[in-house]
A and B are shown apart, each in its own frame.
Chain A
Amino acid sequence: MTVRRVDLAVDAFWVLLGLAISAHAAALGLWAPSGPGGGFVPLLAGAVIAAGGAGLLLSRARPAPGVPFWSARVAALRVLAVLAGLVAIAVLMPVLGFLLTAIPTMAFLLTVIERQRWPWVVGLAIGSSVGLYWLFDRILEMALPKGPFGF
């Protein structure tokens, strides 16, 4: 996957997004008896997004060298691993609570980015998760999600 391809895809996305916003805005009503309707400003925003995307697409009419989007496969895998960790937190935290989600996710992220000795990983994952839980839930009273065991 090259930067140019991603650029083109994103430009096309802007055009489609802008058109979709404009269409939906028109349905909201552009003008009311008292003045501009709820769709007036979104229509303008959508039109600018679509025009900007089209302008960017036109600016890429000339072929350009194919620079890869990711410098190495391992770099892409690291990014995907972090995203997977975030998705796991969003899915599991309401069910298992903060601590039971944070500890394995931390351990996963510490291991997957660079292989390290497991006692160190486990210690750090438990220590930092419990530390953050204690600071934000107990000291700052931010009420983090609780799991079946009450934490």
Chain B
Amino acid sequence: MEVLRELATGFGVILTPANLYYCFLGSLVGTLVGVLPGIGPLAALSLLLPFTFTLPPVPSLVMLAAIFYGAMYGGSTTSILVNIPGEAASVVTCLDGHEMAKQGRAGAALGIAAIGSFVAGTVGNLGLTVFSPALVAIALRFGPPEYFAVMILGFVVTLYMIGGSPLKAMVMLATGVFVSVVGMDIVNGAERFTFGSVNLSGGFDLVAVVMGLFGVSEILLNVEALARGEVFSRKIRGLLPTFRDWLDSWAAILRGTAIGFGFGVLPGGGPVTASFLSYAVERRLSRRPERFGHGAIEGVAGPEAANNAAVAGSMIPLLSLGLPSNAVTALLLGALVIHGVQPGPMLMTQHPDIFWGVIASLYVGNVMLLVLNLPLISLWVQLLRIPYRILFPSVLLLTVIGTYSINHNIFDVWVMIGFGLSGYVLRKLGYELAPLVLAMVLGPLLEQTLRQSLIMSTGNPAIFLTRPIAAALVLLAAALVAVLVLRQRRLGLAGADATQHPTEGSP
């Protein structure tokens, strides 16, 4: 009952004209970036982050979160209609969604994607509402050693969750930590790795790094692979699925919701992993797996439900512990810090308007997105008629504007270009960039809690093994590392870099 009362407070916060406007604006922009290939939710969030500096924290967070889940809705449209994923979590929707479109069933595919997303989003939000306060109660017992142990466990789980080589993910995590320590030492104020540069004394700006790694590298990859894409010109009919479609899809939607929610909570998980796993599960459980890849509606319903439920799941560690589980929530964490709000378990008690307002906005945004994505689908289809070769110069200018606007310093644009080129090369070589951003955001907290812990124990690292919660987390992390090392040894060193050199980004 307490939870319902608090949630009602959240609805009181969100149901004001101004907050509803920003929730709608975020949903609209999210759908837009989801529909348009080449602009992911992360780039859109980075771009709009400077604009939100002038807003109070609640509308700012509400809008940024709406972009995240809006992109999950919008991404399916492009996948289904033109076989190009609007964003990474919709890659798997192409397989059966586009086949359905080719069979004249684009309406049913879009309909089940939107309805599945709505159901999963709403159920996921219920989970978020129930589990977040419970986790806050546990997290309030955490001191620096426990926080440090949670982050180490999170990094280890990331090595498991990220596709491809764990060695590459490890290098990315360590690079992220290194990037985060450039600038002023948090304890004694001494400059580190600045080489006398005034521009570096404040460290690398998160938005410039993210915009480069995800925005610029995405443009470079798209421009490299530029081809005359198919332009969708058919009329879309029958958005409501048939009785047969419902029978085939309901279980897939529920399973996708459970998978998405669970994987959203895990570090390194999030919508991309959840959608792929949901597709694999549906195919495995199907009585006729040969239909998959040829227009099976479960292959659309499950992954689309999973990627939306993952958004709600990923909000749990962010709002309860102040720990992001993927790059997008890392940026949301950055937004909280920029607004002077200390993320962590005290957020619920110190800023209930933000905590419950954001949760309530997810319910409201889900309804808005259903309206935006079903009746207005023909409007979004018009956007698909814009060729990328026309679109990308404007997107490039947007990245420059977004990066420059943070500090009004051209140095940030150079940082963006540098990280953009690095991100392009690394993505071509099969590196996942999300761990770098995750570690960059968590780096200062990781260093702070490690140093505080060792000061508390007068330099004795046994502090991580003498406190029960920290010890359990550290031992779990150690066990996972041992299993990972053994698995890699069995695969042989060649398996250490099982590179397939994918060029798909990850949010």
- A residues touching B (Cβ–Cβ < 8 Å)? 3, 6-7, 10, 14, 18, 21, 24, 28, 31-32, 34-36, 38-42, 44-46, 48-49, 52-53, 55-56, 58-62, 69-71, 75-76, 78-79, 82-83, 85-87, 89-90, 93-94, 98, 102, 105-106, 109-110, 113-114, 124-125, 128-129, 132, 136, 140-145
Interface check B397, CB cutoff 8 A: yes
Which of B185-193, B366-374, B476-484 forms part of the interface with chain A? B185-193
Q: Which residues of B contact A46 (CB under 8 A)?
A: 174, 178
Q: Which residues of B contact A143 (CB under 8 A)?
A: 405, 408
B376 to chain A, nearest CB (A): 22
Q: Are A42 and B178 in contact, CB atoms less than 8 angstroms apart? A: yes
Chain A contact residues: helix, strand, loop or mixed: helix
Q: Which residues of B contact A38 (CB under 8 A)?
A: 185, 187-188, 190, 192
Q: Are A53 and B421 in contact, CB atoms less than 8 angstroms apart? A: no
Which of B5-13, B103-111, B223-231, B249-257 forms part of the interface with chain A? B223-231
Interface check B467, CB cutoff 8 A: no
Interface check B426, CB cutoff 8 A: yes
Q: Are B398 and A132 in contact, CB atoms less than 8 angstroms apart? A: yes
Q: Are B455 and A109 in contact, CB atoms less than 8 angstroms apart? A: no
Interface check B465, CB cutoff 8 A: no
Q: Which residues of B contact A125 (CB under 8 A)?
A: 393
Which residue of the partner chain A has the closest CB to B387? A114
- Cβ contacts A to B, 26 pairs, < 8 Å: A3-B429, A7-B429, A36-B455, A42-B192, A42-B193, A45-B174, A49-B175, A56-B496, A56-B497, A58-B496, A75-B225, A79-B424, A82-B223, A82-B396, A83-B417, A86-B413, A86-B420, A90-B413, A106-B394, A109-B396, A114-B389, A128-B393, A128-B397, A132-B394, A142-B405, A144-B404
Q: Which residues of A contact B245 (CB under 8 A)?
A: none
Give the complex CA separation of A62 and B499 in angstroms: 14
A94 to chain B, nearest CB (A): 5
Q: Which residues of A contact B50 (CB under 8 A)?
A: 142
Give the complex CA separation of A83 and B217 in angstroms: 10
Which residues of B439-453 are within 8 A (CB) of A? Answer: 443, 446-447, 450-451
Which residue of the partner chain A has the closest CB to B458? A35
10 extra A-B contacts, CB within 8 A, seeds A21-B178, A40-B451, A45-B175: A35-B454, A35-B455, A36-B455, A39-B192, A59-B493, A59-B497, A102-B397, A105-B397, A113-B392, A125-B393
Interface check B171, CB cutoff 8 A: yes
Q: Are A10 and B426 in contact, CB atoms less than 8 angstroms apart? A: yes
Known contacts A28-B192, A70-B224, A90-B413; A132 and B401 CB within 8 A of each other: yes
Give the complex CA separation of A85 and B167 in angstroms: 34
User: B223, B225, B414, B443: which has the most chain A beta carbons within 10 Å?
Assistant: B223
Which residue of the partner chain A has the closest CB to B413? A90
Smallest CB-CB A-B distances: 7 pairs = A52-B171, A48-B174, A35-B455, A38-B185, A59-B496, A109-B393, A45-B178
Give the complex CA separation of A44 and B178 in angstroms: 9
Chain B contact residues: helix, strand, loop or mixed: helix
A132 to chain B, nearest CB (A): 6
Known contacts A28-B190, A38-B192, A55-B167; A124 and B396 CB within 8 A of each other: no
A130 to chain B, nearest CB (A): 11
Q: Are B397 and A86 in contact, CB atoms less than 8 angstroms apart? A: no
Q: Which residues of A contact B404 (CB under 8 A)?
A: 93, 144-145
Q: Mark B153-180, 1 if CB is under 8 A from A, else 0.
A: 0000000000001011011011101100
A120 to chain B, nearest CB (A): 9
Known contacts A36-B454, A124-B390; A129 and B397 CB within 8 A of each other: yes
Q: Are B446 and A41 in contact, CB atoms less than 8 angstroms apart? A: yes
Q: Which residues of A contact B400 (CB under 8 A)?
A: 86, 89, 93
Which residue of the partner chain A has the closest CB to B456? A35
Q: Are A83 and B192 in contact, CB atoms less than 8 angstroms apart? A: no
Q: Are A113 and B223 in contact, CB atoms less than 8 angstroms apart? A: yes
Give the complex CA separation of A40 and B461 in angstroms: 13
User: A39, A75, A93, A142: which has the most chain B beta carbons within 10 Å?
Assistant: A142
Q: Are A62 and B394 in contact, CB atoms less than 8 angstroms apart? A: no
Give the complex CA separation of A56 and B498 in angstroms: 10
Q: Are A14 and B417 in contact, CB atoms less than 8 angstroms apart? A: no
Which residue of the partner chain A has the closest CB to B53? A142
B32 to chain A, nearest CB (A): 14
Interface check B216, CB cutoff 8 A: yes
Q: Which residues of B contact A89 (CB under 8 A)?
A: 397, 400, 413
Interface check B494, CB cutoff 8 A: yes
Give the complex CA separation of A82 and B215 in angstroms: 13
Which residue of the partner chain A has the closest CB to B169? A52
Q: Which residues of B contact A52 (CB under 8 A)?
A: 167-168, 170-171, 174
Interface check B232, CB cutoff 8 A: no
Which residue of the partner chain A has the closest CB to B496? A59
Q: Which residues of B contact A114 (CB under 8 A)?
A: 226, 389
B235 to chain A, nearest CB (A): 28
